[in-house]
Amino acid sequence: MAGVTASDAGTPIRRESRLSWLWQLLGDPLGAFGLFLVLVVVVSAAFADVLAPYDYKALDVKARLGAPSWDHLLGTDNLGRDTFSRILHGGQIALYVALVSIGASLMLGLILGMLAGYGPRWLDNFLMWIFDSVRSFPVIMFALAVITVVGPSLETIIFVVIATTTPGYARIARASTLATKNTEFILAERSLGAGVWRIMFSHLVPNIVQPLLILCSMDIPVVITIEAGLSFLGLGVKPPTPSWGSILNDGFGFIRNTPWLVVAGGIPLIVTTLGFTFLGEALRDVLDPKLKKDR
Amino acid sequence: MLLYTVKRLGLAILIVCLAMLMLLSAIHMVPGDPAGIALGPRATPEMREEFRALMGLDRPFFVQYFKFLANVMAGDLGVDVWSKRPVSTMIGEQLPHTIALALVGLGWAILLGIPMGCFSAVHRNSPLDKLTAILSVGCIAIPSFIVSLYALLLFAVELRWFPAIGAGEAGDLEDQFVHLVLPGLAVGLGWVGYLARFVRTSMLEVMGENHIRMARAYGLPTRRITYIYALKLAILPTVALLGVGVGSLISGAVFAEIIFARPGVGKMVVDAVNTRNYPIVMGGVLVTTMLFALSTLISDLVAAWLDPRIRQSL
């Protein structure tokens, strides 16, 4: 059926196929569930200022380590700060790190990957060697080495994530470039006298960007885990900025007497990683059925 | 195969050399005195002088690099800034704990993940297959430190089934094993998911091949076809994957080591980061990177030995 419609290429058909992936996604129960979880996280982070019942920095020492109650839905931490408000604001940090670093990795990986695929052979070999080397570093150990030298901060985390995820994007961009660069429409373009940059950015990019976007959706939970993990080790964002990891770190010190701090700090991470992973998987199945077979 | 082995070995050596270059140049990239950067604000002038002499920081960069390279090859990773003990000895004491944890984690992941994958492949598209798929994705997605924290909370703090902290009495194997249960559970859970998915995919691939169809045509019992003929082939790429598992679990163990207050390389490195003890960080990161490179090397070689197509790819 799809083959028949594709052969009568025309604009209305294309528009229909553009929307259809969303319906397919919603038709997959897991995909719809993932999308729902992601929306919950995104909306609660975006409107954290409105939704949070308390100021996330406000100390209330008398109410410290309070159990969940109607006043404090998820209790209070060791400084009497409202955990629910801190979790809402922590979502902003998590999504900020994920979006900034994955956006940068995507751009950087796209450019480097196209250079490797389209450029001379020596450049390809050199870049591939760099990518392989960076990928063979265990991420957490790499992060720890960088943090020792430049000190813990949000920027350090973003740098580490960009450095370790870019090779993944670059490899996919390279493979797609190699597959596309000798197709007829690129050869035609070249014979018409188009320059290298025009071919790369006007013609290659639209054809190779889709698998990269799928990888983005799969990488978001990984990046959020890295940020939370480093903040949990006390090597991430600086207090009083709330991060899900630092909420867990605060709670870990009091795990024997006030377990709800750890329980409450873990839930948003579970919801977010599951949501993005389910969404990413469903998106991959819908957008690129070929990958489904390989995985 | 020989050519591939040589090339792959060369790549592994290059990777380790590059890792050392990155570790050494890190302290030079930040503006300021490299010794001060490596040792942090609490270091005394004498300590900085000592570090400078040890690393040869006053000499040209490439001389420093080759000195570092020669030292590492001789097994000398420098000394701890504070206690003056050799870093290699300290890592030697911690590494067995980390490797034990990684092996226990991967061990139970194998015991559960591989049968799960087989089952899914045999009962393809059944409700149980779908449930297994969801469970595997869930296992992969949930961060291991959350699993560690929740496991600690539930089984050690609330139910008191297992000990919460430490690695157990030295020499008492049973006690040490009991201390490994919860951390092992936490670090291995993600790999249960990975293995289940991986085995399912390779099983399905094998089940579609001609000799399996032939066996079916001869009327052999399904159980025999699945578990004797198909699994034997499908398990091979998984064996190759396990090398990567050991390598990544050795560095991934850091969270479980911190949460369960276990000795280990990861905990040692994190403690050193907090006191800005760069020689320990450098040694710990280098050793884990080497182990990671070694284990991926072994799994790539196994994979190439099993599948000649891979040999062409390098």
| Structure token pair of residue A205 | 């990019």
Report the pLDDT value the prediction gives residue A100, as an integer from 0 to 100.
Answer: 94
ipTM of the complex: 0.84
Distance between terminal CA atoms of chain B?
Answer: 11
Determine contact: B146 vs chain A, CB below 8 A: yes
Report the pLDDT value the prediction gives residue A112, as an integer from 0 to 100.
Answer: 92
Q: Which residues pair with A76 in a beta bridge?
A: A82
Report the pLDDT value the prediction gives residue B32, as an integer from 0 to 100.
Answer: 67
CA distance A63 to chain B (A): 23
Task: Give the model confidence (pLDDT) of B168-193 as tens digits.
Answer: 777 777 788 888 888 898 899 989 99
Q: Which of B3-17, B28-42, B294-308 is the least confident region?
A: B28-42
pLDDT at B292 over 90: no
How far is B125 from B122, CA to CA, in rounded Å? 9
Amino acid symbol at B181 = V
Task: Please tell me whether residue B46 adopts helix, strand or coil conformation.
Answer: helix
Helix, strand, coil abundance in chain B, percent, nearest 5: 80, 0, 20
**B46-75 residues touching A, CB cutoff 8 A:** none
Nearest to A269 among B143, B252, B270 (CB): B143
Nearest to B141 among A145, A252, A274 (CB): A274
**B161-220 residues touching A, CB cutoff 8 A:** 197, 201
Q: Model confidence at A294, in pLDDT bands (50, 70, 90)? A: very low
How far is A239 from A242, CA to CA, in rounded Å? 7
Determine contact: B10 vs chain A, CB below 8 A: no
Task: Please tell me whether residue B79 adopts helix, strand or coil conformation.
Answer: strand
Task: Give the model confidence (pLDDT) of A193-211 as tens digits.
Answer: 888 888 888 888 888 888 8
CA distance B297 to chain A (A): 10
Residue A99 has, within 13 A of its CA and on its CB side, a CA count of 7
Q: Which CATH number fits domain A21-52+80-289: 3.40.50.10540, 1.10.3720.10, 3.40.30.10, 3.40.640.10?
A: 1.10.3720.10
B278 vs A contacts (CB less than 8 Å): 148-149
Report the pLDDT value the prediction gives residue A170, as an integer from 0 to 100.
Answer: 92
pLDDT at A14 over 70: no
How far is A6 from B265, CA to CA, in rounded Å? 57
User: Mean pLDDT, to the nearest integer, of B275-291?
Assistant: 85
User: Is A278 in Cβ contact with B157 (below 8 Å)?
Assistant: no
Total-model pTM: 0.85
Task: Yes or no: say if B262 and B97 are a contact pair by the CB < 8 Å rule.
Answer: yes
Mean pLDDT of chain A, nearest integer: 81
CA distance B27 to chain A (A): 6
pLDDT at A11 over 60: no
Q: Which residues pair with B86 in a beta bridge?
A: B79
Whether a cis peptide bond, with omega within 30° of 0, leads into A240 is: yes
Report the pLDDT value the prediction gives residue A290, as an integer from 0 to 100.
Answer: 57
CA distance A188 to chain B (A): 30
Task: Yes or no: say if A171 and A114 are a contact pair by the CB < 8 Å rule.
Answer: no
pLDDT at A136 over 80: no
Report the pLDDT value the prediction gives residue B4, as an integer from 0 to 100.
Answer: 84
Q: Which of A4-18, A29-43, B44-58 is the least confident region?
A: A4-18
How far is A277 from A271, CA to CA, in rounded Å? 10
User: Is A263 in Cβ contact with B272 (below 8 Å)?
Assistant: no
Say what percent of chain B tops pLDDT 90: 6
Determine contact: B282 vs chain A, CB below 8 A: yes
Q: Model confidence at A18, in pLDDT bands (50, 70, 90)? A: low
pLDDT at A10 over 60: no
Task: Give the model confidence (pLDDT) of B17-70 as tens digits.
Answer: 888 888 888 777 766 677 777 777 777 787 777 777 766 777 777 787 888 888
Q: Could you tell me how many CB contacts below 8 A there are between chain A and chain B?
A: 125
Report the pLDDT value the prediction gives residue A101, as an integer from 0 to 100.
Answer: 95
A76 vs B207, higher pLDDT: B207
Instruction: Give the mutation candidate from A38, A130, A147, A149 for the B interface (greatest B CB count, under 10 A).
Output: A149
In this structure, which topology does domain B96-263 adopt according to CATH? Answer: MetI-like fold (1.10.3720)
pLDDT at A2 over 60: no
User: What are the backbone dihedrals phi and psi of residue A77, each rounded to the nearest 5 degrees, phi first?
Assistant: -95, -170
Report the pLDDT value the prediction gives residue B238, as an integer from 0 to 100.
Answer: 84
CA distance A48 to chain B (A): 23
pLDDT at B158 over 90: no
Domain residue spans in chain B? 96-263
